[in-house]
Structure 1
Amino acid sequence: MPLLEIRNLVVEFDTAAGPFRALDGVDYTVDAGEVLAIVGESGSGKSVAMLAVMGLLPDTATITADRMAFEGRDLATLSPKDRRQVIGKDISMIFQEPIASLNPCFTVGFQIGEVLKTHTRLSGSERAARVIELLKAVGIPEPERRLSSFPHQMSGGQCQRVMIAMAIACSPKLLIADEPTTALDVTIQKQILDLLLKLQAESGMGLIMITHDMGVVAETADRVVVQYQGRQMEEADVLSLFESPKHPYTKALLSALPENATGDRLPTVGDFRALFETAPKEATA
């Protein structure tokens, strides 16, 4: 049984111009210990899909799916109380832009501690010790001193590590990382990716990596889902995807990588909407 199984997920938003379909029948599965990458350009619905899983989309969104299950439990039919026990504890998410995701009015120690207070029965002193342990685990120097730091007093890379600490505080079975290296320099990007893979390997949790960076996909993923404008173009194991992509959109993404350039200019990805009626999922492997 997959850790997470989603079948035919559709998300529509009510807008002033009428309904807007952000996701149109996508499928995802991820097993314990597996790294699934969801890749596609901005606006392809990668984050929307995972926010639907987390129950964090606004009231203007209409979500339907043939199946949306975690460990066999239907997330769509869970009561709000039961869902809160799963979200943040068994399923956790690292959001984009850590500076914007952390509350500027509270210390990082307090914010990590709030996760533990919500989902565990640890005492105050036990929570403080666990927060220090988590900060050490994600590579924050002088964690005892950093307990009282505010987000604006830390670098972007350190704030991203704090977000990771919050996400793994309760030892989740599934971790969703939404563009975890956005706005970080190359050196810090490598450190964050290495940290996520180390934590994933040590705990055996499932990891979903949302990204538009094919280099990140190559370094981290076991399996890849390629999305374009809310639809699933291709699904394959990472080696097959890079060696023999089947969908024209996937081929275009790979051809636009600098290392695949054959002339003075990189090719553009282009517009693939004309393929929607003929090959939305036929190329999946």
Structure 2
Amino acid sequence: MPLLEIKNLRVAFDTSVGEFIAVQGIDLSVDEREVLAIVGESGSGKSVSMLAVMGLLPDTATVTADSMTFNGRDLLTMTVEQRRKIIGRDIAMIFQEPIASLNPCFTVGFQIEEVLRVHMGMDRAQRRARAIELLQQVGIPEPEQRLSTFPHQMSGGQCQRVMIAIAIACNPKLLIADEPTTALDVTIQKQILDLLMRLQAEHGMGLIMITHNMGVVAETADRVVVQYKGRKMEEADVLSLFESPKSNYTKALLSALPDNATGDRLPTVSDFILDAPDGAPA
């Protein structure tokens, strides 16, 4: 049984000019200890799909699916209270912008300890000890002193490490990483990716990596789902995807990589005739 399984996911938003369909007909699954990459350009519905799983979309969104199960439990029929017990404990998410995701009014220590208080019921001493341990795991120097630091006093890379510490605090079964290296320099990107892969292996988590970077896909994923304009274009193991992509859109993404350039300029997605599924915008 997959750890997470979604069938025929649809997400639509009510707008002033009518309904906007952001995600249509998405099927995906991830197993324990598996790394699934969801790849596509901005606006392809990658983040929206996972925010639907987390229950973090606004009230203007309508989420439907034939099924959406986590560890055998139906997420669609859960009450808000039942889902809150899972989100942050069994399913955790690392968001795109760590500095924006951390609360600037509270210290790093408070924000890590709050997760442990809500989901693990630890007392103050236990929470402090666990917070120090987590900061050590994610490579923050002088973790005991860092507990009293505010997010604005840390670099982007350090804030991302704090977000990872919060996400793994309760040893989740599934970790969703939404563009975890966005806005970080190349050296820090590599460190963050290495950290995520090490933690995933050590804790045996399922990991969903949302990205537009095919290099990240090649380096981290076991299996890949390619999305375009809210639709799934292709799904394959990572080696098959790179060696023999089936979708024209996937071929466009791979051809736009600098290493694959054959002319004076890089090709763009618009250079390809895309094979959008029926009902998807061209």
- So what's the TM-score if we normalise by structure 2? 0.97
Aligned to 1:36: 36
Q: RMSD of the TM alignment (CA)?
A: 1.3
CA distance in 2: counterparts of 1:55 and 1:113, whole angstroms = 22
1:122 aligns with 2:122: yes
Given that 2:104 and 2:152 are in contact with CA atoms closer than 8 Å, whether structure 1 keeps it comes out as yes
Q: Which amino acid in the other structure matches residue 94 of structure 2?
A: I
Report what 2:202 is aligned to: 202
Structure 1 residue 119: Cα displacement: 0.2
Q: Which amino acid aligns with 1:243?
A: E
- Letter of the structure 2 residue corresponding to residue 157 of structure 1: G
SS in 2 for 1:234: strand
Q: Secondary structure at the match of 2:26?
A: strand
Distance 2:20 2:228 in 1: 15
1:283: which partner in 2?
none
Counterpart of 2:214? 214
Q: Map residues 1-285 of structure 1 onto 2, 5 A cutoff.
A: 1-270=1-270, 275-277=275-277
Q: 1:273 to 1:252 in 2, by over 3 A?
A: closer
- The amino acid of 2:227's aligned partner reads Q
Cα deviation, 1:232-259, whole Å, max 9, x if unaligned, reads 0000000000000000000010000000
What SS class does the counterpart of residue 43 from structure 1 fall into?
A: coil
Q: Distance in 2 between matches of 1:128 and 1:197?
A: 25
**C-alpha deviation, 1:223, in angstroms:** 0.1
- Partners of 2:59 and 2:109 lie apart in 1 by 31
> What SS is found at the alignment partner of 2:267?
coil
Q: 1:53-78 deviations in whole A, cap 9, x for unaligned?
A: 00000000000000100011000111
Change (3 A) 1:7 1:159: same
Query: Counterpart of 1:210 in 2: which secondary structure?
Result: strand
**SS of the residue aligned with 2:269?**
coil
Shift of the 277–168 alpha-carbon distance from structure 1 to 2, 3 Å rule, reads closer
Q: Is the 8 A contact 2:12 2:63 kept in 1?
A: yes
Q: Per-residue CA shift, 1:106-137, capped at 9, x if unaligned?
A: 00000000000000121100100000000000
* Large movers: runs of 4+ above 4 Å: 271-274, 277-280
- Return the offset for 1:264: 1.3
Structure 1, unmatched stretches of 5+, are 281-285
- What is the identity, as a one-letter code, of the residue corresponding to 1:167? A
The 1-side partners of 2:50 and 2:43 are apart by 14
Tell me, what secondary structure is at the counterpart of 2:245?
Answer: coil
The farther-off stretch of 76-85 and 178-187 is 76-85
- For the residue of structure 2 that corresponds to 1:233, the secondary structure is strand
Q: Distance in 2 between matches of 1:279 and 1:36?
A: 26
What is the Cα deviation at residue 275 of structure 1? 3.0
CA distance in 2, matches of 1:271, 1:91: 39
Give percent identity, aligned residues only.
Answer: 77
Partner secondary structure for residue 270 of structure 2: coil
TM-score, structure 1 as length reference: 0.96
Give the number of aligned pairs: 280
Output the CA distance in 2 between the equivalents of 1:3 and 1:76: 15
